[in-house]
Amino acid sequence: MIRPLIFALALLSPALYAQPVSYAINTDRTPITLSWHAFGGILSWANLDGVTGDVTLDPENEFSDRINVTIPVSTLVASNSLLTWQLKSDMFFDASRYPNIQFSSTRVVALSGGRFRVFGTLKVKDIQRPVILEATLEEHKMDESISLHATTAISRSAYHMDKFALVVDDRIAIKIEIQAIARSAS
């Protein structure tokens, strides 16, 4: 009689149900790459690092999932020093006035095959625009960490970065490689 009662209580225990897990972004292992075409097809790129933020995943409620990221523009390094200077200047990111780029998710939707669609807002130069990221997620149970691989594309003119429009494409591809460790394991 006691055995079935213990089993029934165990089934009702909240510990059996999935709880949200919060992760801290590993700044040293989270690069971001921007790429675009210029001069009729030449691929150009820039990298950003120093990324900080957190990821909260709630298996029970996709609206409770959160990804918050802050990217310091000062870490931007492009394919050459002139381009690095131009991108940090007021012609583009204006790093002295707007030192950070920010992303905040509003929803993470699970698709098939371990793929996800992340809806959120990207803030560049105090201009906020909705973005959708296509992502995959890897869980590393051994060290309680995750790897989130995401891509998206934005219009640079939507963020008032439209200099050299005749020679540089408006579409900027963004590749994000987030590494994060569970807060309880950090």
Name the residue ranges covered by the structural domains of the chain. 18-185
> How far does the chain reach from its first CA to its final CA, in angstroms?
43
| 8 Å CB contact between 101 and 174 | no
Q: Where are the alpha helices (DSSP H) in the chain?
A: 2-12, 81-88
Task: Tell me the C-alpha distance between 18 and 143, whole Å.
Answer: 19
Q: Which two tokens stand for residue 166?
A: 């005749």
Give the pLDDT confidence of 101-126 residue by residue, as tens digits: 999 999 999 999 889 999 999 999 99
Mean pLDDT calculated for residue range 6-18? 46
Fold of 18-185: Lipocalin (2.40.128)
Q: What is the enclosing helix (H) or strand (E) of 118? A: strand 115-124
pLDDT, tens digit, for every residue of 80-109?
999 999 999 999 999 999 999 999 999 999
125, 160 Cβ separation under 8 angstroms: yes
